[in-house]
Amino acid sequence: VHWTAEEKAAINAVWKKVDLEHDGGDALGRLLLVYPWTQRYFSSFGSLSNAAAIAGNAKVQAHGKKVLGALDNAAHHLDTVKATLHDLSDSHAHRLHVDPENFRRFGEVFVIVLAGKLGSSFSPPVQAAIEKFFAVVVDGLSHEYH
Ligand code: HEM
């Protein structure tokens, strides 16, 4: 992947505003509510039956934080995202059996969380850079499936 200086700057600027404690849980909560069939991967998480149950589920928050930690690592290694995500691609493909289409959906809900937080500073060029970041992340996570 080639990143322009503007794309890297946009990703770094957005990433500084990401709340590593909460934004991952918020995005995962949206994924579970908007695409309820994704709940099947998290049967050990307890009740996910409605918006309040999902928002108040400590396991969703904790797991979202873990996912965001991996994205944070990728955001800090933009030139080596594929290698950075190699082991996670392997575990999601061969141990967790997650349909890789769900990675794309997670990117989509994460963009919505960011847009809600950042308001007007989430400009079209910033969105474009973040969408590209997620495309590269999804590609990296999907790599061990092919
Ligand atoms: C576990 C990252 C998306 C399902 C994990 C872990 C990380 C992670 C760091 C913990 C380490 C491990 O168990 O290997 C990511 C990233 C994603 C992503 C960066 C970016 C899009 C998804 C999606 C699903 C999913 C979309 C399902 C819809 C799971 C499951 C586990 C897991 C079921 C094991 C949970 C447990 O029982 O502890 N993921 N993940 N992941 N992920 Fe993902």
Which helix (H) or strand (E) segment holds residue 122: the answer is none
The best mutation among 42, 87, 88 to test binding of ligand 1, ranked by most ligand atoms within 8 Å of the C-beta, falls on 88
Contact 31, 102 (CB under 8 A): yes
User: 71 C-alpha vs ligand 1 centroid, how far in Å?
Assistant: 11
Q: Which two tokens stand for residue 111?
A: 């963009």
Residue 100: other Cβ atoms inside 10 A = 17
The response to whether residue 39 sits with its C-beta less than 6 Å from ligand 1 reads no
Q: Give Rg (Cα) of the chain.
A: 15
Q: What are phi and psi of 52, to 5 degrees?
A: -70, -40
pTM score of the predicted model? 0.95
Q: Which two tokens stand for residue 125?
A: 């060029």
pLDDT value at residue 71 = 98
ipTM of the complex: 0.95
pLDDT value at residue 146 = 74
The upper half-sphere exposure of residue 39, i.e. CA atoms within 13 Å in the direction of its Cβ, equals: 18
Contact 79, 3 (CB under 8 A): yes
Q: Mean pLDDT in each 10-residue stretch from start to end of the chain (146 residues)? A: 96 95 97 97 96 97 98 97 97 96 98 96 96 98 92
Take atom 15 of ligand 1 and give the residue whose Cα is closest: 67
Count of H-run helices and E-run strands, the chain: 8, 0
